[in-house]
Chains A and B, each alone.
Chain A
């Protein structure tokens, strides 16, 4: 979802769809999850500020922040956090009421066969620790009883779509995806839900975790492939999505700390590819029969640029390059003396100190960190040079842009401003993003050619 939010901010189109994220993570206190919610709130704040025109609402922008994100809480006019209902603060043993089974009960033997002691003693508030057998039992009830699922069923209308993103080698995603699909396709009383166009991206193993014997973790990444194989065998005859995207790596290239409490995993190229599947899905019609999709890169390089990624990734590269150029403008313009739009459009000190621009600065900082992680991870997604403002024609590796430095973009912003009447609207922040996008797109659209 982080990569989806970043791509949406960069100008990737959702084809007019509003994205309503539902994050199913039983891990209640995960910092990364909180950061994701904060990122989404940040995005929504910026989007709302671009369409706000005093008493009226403007059409979404072309380019940056062009699509709306709405939480299911907002849709349902609920104040409480429906995400909270996904987690449970008890042990699995207690959840299945194992204590009620007598020692010679046949069901007790059955439970002992299916679940290890570790499984049974596992607190559900930290997720299913890579155990889909636990997730399968718990998630079904969690989904059915959750406020968000009721809200989803109430608000899902004809032509709405559902896209499920999950990993196949863990616990929550591997068990949650087929369960969720089953709940949706089985909604007999809600035909719009039952017949919705559904897509899913299933992420195959792409990272490893440090040896659990040294870290004391319950998760062993040595089992990822075995779990994947068994899950795939199960999916083969059960999945009901119209489009199923498979994304994965050839090997577990990156090894993270094995700490299920923190899960401080840096952004990975595979997550970006998985995110791009959503945008592909939203651009497609309902197929006559189920479609299995995957995509490859051109060259098996450790650090991917436009050439080694291949032509299928041009839109992603353009988006990332565009936002990093926006970042350059966001960083430099507040210090730019005598920029004419400070007079003509009010891009002055007050504008740069205003909540809207500050919100954009915060998002941009997060974007920069995200791209930095992507560009240094294994494998690295690093198609741009962004550190030399005086040699910007090499912004895209393996391609020359016509803009030699940032003054080219500033000039194009001025020219873009001349195309708009002062009374089109009174939203300076929207003008800023409009002019910046037009200026950047003028030079980077050649990436897509």
Chain B
């Protein structure tokens, strides 16, 4: 259970924190960071960072020795990455509509 908690925390932390980082500190820097391409780059970073982090943690905690275990761990990492991306998207939606930012509000209703 404790190991699952770590995975959930990774999903939440990385998904939300990367969105916050994009909308606040990153867009407080010059370089036209408000352009949507940077939002998509952060989206990609969130996906792959969670994918890799989850997989590495799984690998360290439970090394996949049994047949099919590696595939399960990859699928879990993939699922985690998708959840994190979803969280990144939801956080972005909230930020675009209700919170101050220097970024372009791509998801503004």
Contact = CB atoms under 8 A, between A and B. Distances in A.
Interface string A397-440: 00000011101101100110010000000000000000000000
Nearest to B31: A407
A431 to B, nearest CB: 16
Interface stretch (A29-37, A74-82, A188-196, A336-344): A336-344
A407 B102 CA distance: 12
A338 B30 contact: no
Contact of A405 (B30, B103, B105): B30
B34 A340 contact: yes
A371 B108 CA distance: 42
> Interface residues of A toward B: which range?
10 to 19
Interface in B70-109: 100-105, 108
Contact of A343 (B30, B35, B105): B105
A338 B31 contact: no
B100 A338 contact: no
Nearest to B96: A343
Contacts of A407: 30-32
Nearest to A412: B30
> Interface residues of B toward A: which range?
10 to 19
B34 A418 contact: no
Contacts of A410: 30, 32
A343 B31 contact: no
A404 B104 contact: no
B29 interface: yes
Contact of A340 (B28, B29, B30, B104): B104
Contacts of B31: 407
A337 B32 CA distance: 10
A338 B102 contact: no
Interface in B21-66: 28-32, 34-36
A343 B108 contact: yes
Contact of B35 (A337, A403, A418): A337
Nearest to B102: A414
Contacts of B105: 340, 343-344
Given A338-B34, A343-B104, A343-B105, 5 more contacts: A340-B104, A403-B30, A411-B29, A411-B30, A418-B102
Interface of B: 28-32, 34-36, 100-105, 108
12 contacts: A340-B34, A340-B101, A340-B103, A340-B104, A403-B30, A404-B30, A405-B30, A408-B30, A410-B30, A411-B30, A414-B102, A415-B28
Can you list the 6 inter-chain pairs with the closest CB atoms, starting with the nearest? A414-B102, A338-B104, A408-B30, A407-B30, A411-B30, A407-B32
